[in-house]
Structure 1
């Protein structure tokens, strides 16, 4: 499998991981995934999860491709940036309406980030 195909599958797998967590938590376990967006409640559903995961995945891939053109240490630099972005992203779920929703949303962030970090730079 070539690098482009592997990276595309990694981005898709990252989105799928988040959607699997959503499916287990929201429809099956009944967790209400609502967050406060500037005073307005927002329910996090499968379309939002898929779009966000795919957007982040393709942006991560693009940054890695750019770094590969600019430096010999692209994988290391990208991994550090990706880990920092993942850590920062974990503050978003803190606005969840319930503790259960916060934990599920954090799990989605970690699952998506973990798949991308492990899969995009793999040789």
Structure 2
């Protein structure tokens, strides 16, 4: 039988609201990244005259959003498994993804017809 010795601490309770907030924030971050990828694909399907500059200026922030999404997802999952507060990391992931996709959308507005 395992007993808690003087050097071991009991595991903290898993807070349902923390997990729910984290999941909602990560789902929203995934949706934002999907919008960014859609903008990049739309730009690739209808390339402007300076296609290289357009794909770099739109694709760069989208790649940053994807990388931030995966990193935030990994950190959030690790913190949930460790039963520590995870919602700040999930919220930060959403904010970084939204900012990166916003920059990509702003860059794409100058290249896509009808947006600029």
Q: Same fold, TM exceeding 0.5?
A: no
Structure with bigger strand share is 1
TM-score computed with the length of structure 1 as normaliser: 0.38
Larger-Rg structure: 2
TM-score computed with the length of structure 2 as normaliser: 0.39
